[in-house]
Amino acid sequence: MLTSDPWSDFRRQMPSAGSWACFDHAAVAPLSGPGREAIVAWANDLAENGAANWPRWAERIEKTRRRGAEMIGAEPDEVALVRSTTEGINFVAEGFPWRSGDNIVVPANEFPSNLYPWMHLADRGVDTRRVHVEHGRVRLDALAAACDSRTRIVAVSWVGYAGGWRMDLDALVELAHSRGALLFLDAIQGLGVFPLDVRRTPVDFLAADGHKWLLGPEGAGLFYLRREHLDLLRPVGVGWNSVVQTLDFSHIELKIKPAAGRYEGGTYNMAGFAALGASLDLLARYPRAEIAARVLQITDEICRRLGELVATVASCRDTGRASGIVAFDLAGQDPSQVRKRCRERRVLLSCRGGRLRVSPHAYNNDEDIERLIEALRAG
C-alpha cells in the first residue's frame, strides 16, 4: 500500500489522472496542469494582443532557464533551452574540435539519438566505439576497456530507455575523466526524478527534452554546458539570438554570447518553454530525493504485483540501479497486443525491446496500479 500525502496534491496537478492510469512517462508523459495553463495563457495573449507583451514572455524564458539550472545545480549561463535531447547531443558532436583518429565510447544499447550523431562523424575520421551490453546492464569496466588515449568523449544515458538500468554518475564521471575524456550525459530518463548536482558530480555536457519525467511538452528541453568548456565547442546553429547585441538588428558584429544561450540561435518556442517552466515549478515543490524515493516505491510495488501474474521482470531492481522504468514479459502473450488491450482500458504503457515497459511518476497511486494489474490480467 502506498502513502498518499503529499502526492495527492501532485496528482491533482495532473489532469490526465482523472481518466487515465499513465505508466508511460518514459515515452511521452501527460502535460501537467500548470503546463497546460501556461500554454493557454500564452495563446490567449498572442491572439488578443499580438507581440505587445513579448518582454513578459522573454522573462518567462529566463525563469525557465533559472529553474532548469537550479534543478541540476548549475548556473543559468551554463544552460541553453533546446528543442530536443537530439539537438543538445548534436551541439557537442558537431561543435567538438575533432581530429582524425579520435574516438567516442558509447554503450551499444543507447537510444538512437545518442548513437547517430556520433556515428555521423565517421567521415571526419572519428570512430564511434559501441560497447557490447548484456541484459541491459552497462558495465563500467567494459566502457573503460574501450577507452584509449584518443577517446575524447564518453556518451552514456543516465537511465537506459528500454530496461531502466541507472548509472552510478559519480563512478561514470570518474571513469571518463581518469581516461582524459569528457562525459556527455543523456539525462532524459532520469531528470525530473533523481537528484543531480553538477557541481558535485561534474558531468561536462547534458541534454534532456522535457516531455518525459519533467512533465512538459515535446519540443522544449535543456542543454547544459560546463562553463569551462564554453569555448571548447564551436557554436552550432548561430543566429540573431546567439550574439551579445541580440535585439539590435542593425548592429552586425559576430560577438557570440559568453554563455550557453549562444545555442539559442533563433526564435524561441515560447509556448513550449513557458509550459516547461511551469512544470519545473511544479516539480520544485517536492524535494528531488523524495520524488526519487516515491517513484522507486511505486515501481517496487508494481514488481511485487507482477508476481501475481507470473510475469518475468527483466529490469535490475538492485539499490542504486533501479529506476522509474520496469520492463517485463508476460509468458505466451504478444506485448503489442497487451499494450492495445491496456489502452482500451485507459491504461498507458509501452513496448520496448520486445518487452512491456511501465514507467510511473510520483503522482501515480494504488488505484492506478490496480487498474494496470487488472488490464494485464484481462488477457
209 in Cβ contact with 188 (< 8 Å) = yes
| pLDDT tens digits for range 107-164 | 999 999 999 999 999 999 999 999 999 999 999 999 999 999 999 999 999 999 999 9
| pLDDT tens digits for range 66-121 | 999 999 999 999 999 999 999 999 999 999 999 999 999 999 999 999 999 999 99
Please report which confidence band the pLDDT of residue 5 belongs to, taking 50, 70 and 90 as the band edges. Answer: confident
Cα(64)–Cα(38) distance, integer angstroms? 12
Mean pLDDT of the chain: 97
Kindly give the pairing relationship between strand 79-82 and strand 221-225.
antiparallel
Q: What is the pTM of this model?
A: 0.96
Cis peptide bond upstream of 97, omega within 30: no
Domains in the chain (CATH in brackets) are: 7-31+288-377 (3.90.1150.10), 40-283 (3.40.640.10)
- CB-based contacts of 70, cutoff 8 Å, min separation 6: 284
Amino acid identity at 124? R
Cα(311)–Cα(58) distance, integer angstroms? 50
